[in-house]
A and B are shown apart, each in its own frame.
Chain A
Amino acid sequence: MEGITALIRLPGLQVDWQTLLTVNLPILVAVIIAVPAALVGYTLGAEFLVKRLPKRSQPSVRPWVWVGPAILIVGLILVYPMVGTIIRSFFDRGGSKFVGLDNFVRMLTDNGVLIALRNNVYWLVLYTGLVLVFGLLLAVLSDRVRYEKPVKSLIFMPMAISFVAMAIIWQFVYYYKDPSEPQTGTLNAILVNIFHGQPITWIQDTRFNNFALILIGVWGATGFAMVILSAALKGIPGELLEAARVDGATELTIFRRIILPLMMPTIVVVGTTMVIFALKAFDVVYVMTAGNYNTDILARRMYSELYNAGNNANASALAVILLLAVVPVLIFNLRQFRAVEARR
């Protein structure tokens, strides 16, 4: 309990509480109020101006007012660095000599990158698939039990864990001890004590380690999928389900014929997000294996090219490969939201 008192004994800390409370706190409050207010003010002001325009040109000007701030910020924070990256991917390491596709050829014939690509395919299929299945299952099932809130909170808990903490948690699960000693890792203890098997080096054994890492990712992201899918499920009017039940439809039929089609746009959103997260997965591999034991993935390799090897050209080429891999998913999305629009 000394810890708590130390926490309360504020003056003892070598921190400028004067600044925190008299400068930062008012600014924080001001930002909380001012930012939404500024946006509302901006919209009202712009709408006032748009209304002054000729009736015919109003509908073509108005949307830009609404998407303007977002496009400006995204342009600065994401597009600007990305354009630089794309350009650099065609230049040599020093950034002065144009080398065409050399960086791409070098990266795509590198053994480590090929293993990373294979692992990204594992992630793409298993991580996306399992997160969607578990997320949907938990959203639909927990909707029907009285203790929905505690269940959802517990499933969601991994989202509240930073990736440093996540690494410790899973070390306790995957820990390996020599068979002569008692196992301290949860999984090996179950394997040895209940199934009388031999302990497995989950993190090093190349037969299992990629799946062990993907499982961590699934554990972390399922709560995310569940919350979004659950929000969509709650949006389905209750009367619709009631009417189907009165008509004698079984729960399975209701799920397949009513719930699933109505949730499809949201499932596509979650699926797309998961595919992209699988492509740029980084944290789990970075903290658990640093890409060793054949577990490397593209984003981690890119990170080490950039910050360990200092090779901007290689890193840029990898980033461009990552972006290109997203294109098929985007095309699928385009079809999907055109279909939604056609239906209304």
Chain B
Amino acid sequence: MSVATAAPPAAPPTTVRPATRWSQRISARVGTAGLNVAVIALTLAWIVPTLGLLINSFRQGGAFNTSGWWTALAPPFAFTLDSYRAVLGASDLAPSFFNSFMITIPATIIPAAVAAFAAYAFAWMKFWGRDWIFLALVGLLAVPLQLTFIPLLTLAVHFGLNSGNTLPGGLNAGFLAIWIAHTGYGLPFAIYLLANFFRVLPADLFESAEIDGAGPVTVFFRLVLPLSVPALASLIIFQFLWVWNDLLVALIYVGGTPEVAPLTVTLTNLVGSLGQHREYLTAAAFVSMVVPLIVFFTLQRYFVRGILAGSVKG
């Protein structure tokens, strides 16, 4: 119907219109093709290094010393699970998986929660010295962690938080020490990231909430947190990955005690005990990547567009 009514008056310019439409369509096609090529090329460039490792981890021991990983993609295919067998079979991997969770989950939740509260105050409350404290906090991002190890370890031992001790309730004290340490190390970035996301939330939202009589607690839980889901999701992913992949901090606080050692420590020891077998290291690398990737894939769906859609006028 609408086509029939629209067609007659459009008659004179028909000679011009298809031409512009064609050129537009072509340029759009070229644009789309260019876009796809760019995205795929960048992605390929990014995965080639990891792909090399992945393929080498399935090759016969030592094969990568004489030929490149890409040669394995041509027949005869000689893939093997030997390296994975050695890594998964020869060690106490299961308990260290558990220890990694035991360290990482609280060391992610605690800083994220503490940071969210602080970031809200830095973004939306006015108080004496706010900007300077915030700047000092960002500046603390630059503190080399290696430098804090000795004074903090001394402090931990002083308070009985060394990894040999058992706290009331049966918890190994090393866990508590490492949770607190990771919280401290993670807080500056967490607050910095969240405060900057909170700061750009539309001010009218806060004004209308205040007019409706909502206190800061209500505003924080009902407005700020739900509106910042993508930022919170990315923060949780980063903190999780940093702690999960951390070797240095774990070695310092719980490294000496096998029953609390996380995956990174166990894998490093394992590689040492299996001798200089680089092929085992290749498999170990992938074993340790499984959990971080699952976390990333799970949280990725929270990076959604349009959480703010409809909440802002015009």
Contact = CB atoms under 8 A, between A and B. Distances in A.
Given A2-B89, A28-B102, A338-B131, A306 B50 contact: no
A276 B141 contact: yes
Given A13-B92, A160-B245, A160-B289, A169 B53 contact: yes
Contacts of B171: 23-24, 27
A54 interface: no
Specify the main secondary structure of chain A where it touches its partner.
helix
B285 interface: yes
Interface residues of B, number: 133
Contacts of A90: none
Contacts of A309: none
B106 A28 contact: yes
Given A28-B106, A165-B285, A273-B141, A43 B117 contact: yes
B120 A315 contact: no
A159 interface: yes
B180 interface: yes
Contacts of B87: 3
A265 B200 contact: yes
A99 interface: no
B309 A238 contact: yes
B78 interface: no
A224 to B, nearest CB: 7
A204 interface: no
Nearest to B57: A168
Contact of B200 (A10, A81, A340): A340
Size category of the A interface is 35 or more
Nearest to A165: B285
A64 B285 contact: no
Nearest to B221: A40
B170 A219 contact: no
A138 interface: yes
Nearest to A224: B238
A217 interface: no
Interface in B122-150: 122, 125-128, 130-131, 133-135, 137-144, 146-148, 150
A15 interface: yes
A154 B147 contact: no
A141 B38 contact: yes
20 contacts: A4-B88, A23-B170, A31-B106, A31-B109, A43-B220, A47-B216, A66-B120, A70-B114, A71-B118, A74-B184, A81-B147, A84-B151, A151-B43, A155-B46, A162-B245, A172-B64, A231-B234, A272-B192, A323-B139, A337-B196
Given A81-B147, A189-B70, A319-B144, 20 more contacts: A3-B87, A31-B109, A35-B113, A36-B113, A39-B117, A43-B217, A60-B127, A62-B125, A63-B126, A153-B293, A154-B46, A158-B46, A162-B288, A164-B264, A164-B271, A164-B285, A165-B284, A184-B66, A186-B69, A303-B144
Interface of B: 31, 35-36, 38-39, 42-43, 46-50, 52-53, 56, 64-70, 81, 84-89, 92-95, 98, 101-102, 105-106, 109-110, 113-115, 117-118, 120-122, 125-128, 130-131, 133-135, 137-144, 146-148, 150-152, 155, 169-172, 175, 179-181, 183-185, 187-189, 191-193, 196-197, 199-200, 203, 215-217, 220, 230-231, 233-234, 237-238, 241, 245-247, 259, 264, 267-268, 271, 278, 281-282, 284-285, 288-289, 292-293, 296-297, 300, 303-309, 312
